Structure 1
């Protein structure tokens, strides 16, 4: 059963990633990989939010859906491999400064988003008492 939960979560996360790419692709400059940046920042927030919530509420719904939400959905939604490919492709296409900026911007944003997700879960838990 856990494999099925992770598989379904991964499929849903990947579809959401693709839909985000389609939505963002029509609104942004085509050279910069905005969609991947957005899904990875949002995914960093989500995974930290879910993981911290599950840790603080080990018998709650999020803890029971850990495989579906964290390994599955967040794993299928975020994409380090595409980020790597896009950074390399930008550099190979002659956009070295843009590639360097993409890498330099992405990692700190992911970390800040994860910190923010963790903080949001801790604040929610404190409000619940």
Structure 2
């Protein structure tokens, strides 16, 4: 049962990621992987908040494992870092790596704090 809940959530999250990526690219273009970093930062914050809020298990599986798991994308982030390095844009690749990981960790911690204090 929980696998089905996670699967439905993942489908919703993947559709949200696709739509958000298209929207950001339409607004800002595709010169820098802004869409991926924005999606992963938002997902990190929301997952931190979800963790702090401590919902019941089925809702956590739906929202966390499913929707946010389908929404965020480590594989796209990894691919973009490798492609930037392959294009010999080493400074950009390093900056993207540091901003993505560092920002994601800070936002997850911020989300956790919000979840613990505003539930």
Deviation at 1:97, TM superposition (A): 1.3
Aligned to 2:67: 73
Aligned to 1:19: 19
* Runs of 5+ consecutive residues of structure 2 not aligned to the other structure: none
Deviation per residue, 1:21-56 (Å, 9 max, x gap)? 0000012242210010001000001111111111xx
| Aligned residue-pair number | 118
The separation in 1 between residues aligned to 2:9 and 2:51, in whole angstroms, is 15
* Runs of 5+ consecutive residues of structure 1 not aligned to the other structure: 55-61
Deviation at 1:84, TM superposition (A): 0.3
**Aligned Cα RMSD in Å?**
1.1
Moved beyond 4 Å, runs of 4+: none
Aligned to 1:94: 88
Normalising by structure 2, what TM-score? 0.93
The separation in 2 between residues aligned to 1:90 and 1:31, in whole angstroms, is 11
The separation in 1 between residues aligned to 2:83 and 2:31, in whole angstroms, is 10
Look at both structures and tell me which one has the larger radius of gyration over its CA atoms: 1
